[in-house]
């Protein structure tokens, strides 16, 4: 019996190793650590680790920004934090409700999980279906993951943790409830998914591209020195804003022109993608999704009521 148990244990070890996120925090500013995900799509090969999460080690304790795509990721994040500092985690701040940013909440149930009220509502409404979909895409990386709702409502303003007076901004362009966080002590701007860089943006909950463009103006005007996008590499210049603005403007005009010409969705998803966006990860994939998310609105805007025409 003993040899049989040892054999079973030995066979299980490689499988357990396959589910190691191998998170490696990188210091990007004073007290500020980044856990950078890939710019790929969700896949079993990456366990859904396509997101940038971060933490700030303050005098009062550790502030976590987004918790990742699964319970397993959240637990790995806590272990990574413990390798950096013995200080306890005292706060989680969620930038928005999407599964890659909020399904690691289970690992942080012992501390306040703060989010905008709209983020909590959206996670309550969509969380279970998003988790199920992510399980289909990444498989057993998601095992045991359950939706844990935020426990603290955040408002625009300042939250202070030691010398880090974090400025919270409530914006709307990506999901309708998007939190951006500026740390004036370091100049780091945590933009969440209001900024994608070198990775095509996603639009499933966007209230409209005009709102998103307005949010970019708000963020770019802040006194930042380093931008942490929700997806893609950090930057110390305005190139992420330029790329986002260029892409959103192109996408808006593409959809507007298509609706004016009466093009159907099948035609729109085959639209040529400008060469300047060719190197951006998942451009075609996300164009197909954005057409499905947004194009019906542009078509409705082109429709004229019969009674209004008289």
* pLDDT category of residue 88 using cuts at 50, 70 and 90: very high
Mapped to the 3 state alphabet, what secondary structure does 135-189 carry? HHHHHHHHCCCCCCCCCEECCCEEEEECCEEEEEEEECCCCCCEEEEEECCCCEE
The reported pLDDT for the residue numbered 212 is: 98
Mean pLDDT of 2-26: 59
pTM: 0.92
CB 160 within 8 A of CB 198: no
The reported pLDDT for the residue numbered 45 is: 94
The reported pLDDT for the residue numbered 308 is: 52
CB 252 within 8 A of CB 244: no
Mean pLDDT of 129-142: 96
* pLDDT category of residue 229 using cuts at 50, 70 and 90: very high
CA–CA separation, 174 and 171 (whole Å) = 8
Tokens 């409502």 found at: 153
* pLDDT category of residue 279 using cuts at 50, 70 and 90: confident
* pLDDT category of residue 303 using cuts at 50, 70 and 90: confident
Phi-psi region of 31 (alpha: psi -120 to 50; beta: other; left: phi over 0): left
Percent of the chain with pLDDT over 70: 92
CA–CA separation, 43 and 5 (whole Å) = 32
More confident of the two residues 8 and 129: 129
* pLDDT category of residue 307 using cuts at 50, 70 and 90: low
Strand partners, 32: 29, 56
* pLDDT category of residue 159 using cuts at 50, 70 and 90: very high
Q: What is the pLDDT of residues 241-259, one digit of tens each?
A: 999 999 999 999 999 999 9
The reported pLDDT for the residue numbered 304 is: 66
On the question of pLDDT at 208 being above 60, the answer is yes
Domains of the chain: 14-238 (3.60.15.10)
**Mean pLDDT, the chain, integer:** 93
* pLDDT category of residue 232 using cuts at 50, 70 and 90: very high
Strand, coil or helix: 82: helix
Q: What is the pLDDT of residues 46-60, one digit of tens each?
A: 999 999 999 999 999
């Amino acid at each position: 019996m003993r040899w049989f148990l040892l054999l079973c244990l030995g066979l299980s070890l490689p499988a357990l190793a396959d589910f190691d996120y191998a998170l490696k925090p990188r210091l990007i500013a004073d007290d500020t650590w980044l856990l950078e995900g890939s710019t790929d799509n969700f896949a079993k090969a990456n366990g859904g680790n396509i997101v940038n999460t971060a933490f700030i080690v303050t005098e009062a304790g550790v502030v976590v920004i987004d918790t990742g795509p699964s319970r397993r990721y959240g637990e790995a994040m806590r272990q990574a934090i413990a390798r950096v500092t013995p200080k306890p985690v005292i706060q989680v701040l969620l930038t928005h409700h999407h599964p890659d940013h909020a399904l690691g909440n289970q690992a942080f149930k012992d501390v306040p999980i703060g989010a905008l009220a709209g983020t909590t509502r959206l996670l309550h409404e969509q969380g279970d279906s998003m988790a199920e979909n992510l399980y289909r895409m990444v498989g057993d990386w998601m095992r045991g993951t359950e939706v844990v709702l935020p426990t603290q409502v955040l408002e625009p303003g300042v939250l202070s943790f030691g010398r880090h007076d974090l400025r919270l901004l409530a914006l709307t362009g990506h999901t309708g409830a998007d939190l951006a966080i500026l740390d004036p002590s370091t100049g780091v701007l945590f933009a969440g998914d209001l900024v994608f860089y070198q990775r095509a943006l996603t639009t499933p909950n966007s209230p409209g591209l005009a709102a998103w463009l307005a949010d970019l103006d708000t963020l770019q005007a802040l006194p930042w020195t380093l931008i942490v996008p929700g997806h893609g590499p950090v930057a110390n210049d305005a190139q992420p804003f330029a790329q986002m603005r260029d892409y959103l403007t192109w996408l808006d005009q593409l959809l507007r022109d298509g609706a004016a010409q009466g093009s159907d969705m099948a035609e729109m998803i085959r639209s040529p993608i400008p060469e300047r966006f060719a190197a951006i990860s998942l451009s075609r994939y996300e164009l197909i999704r954005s057409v499905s998310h947004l194009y019906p609105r542009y078509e409705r805007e082109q429709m004229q009521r019969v009674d209004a025409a008289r």
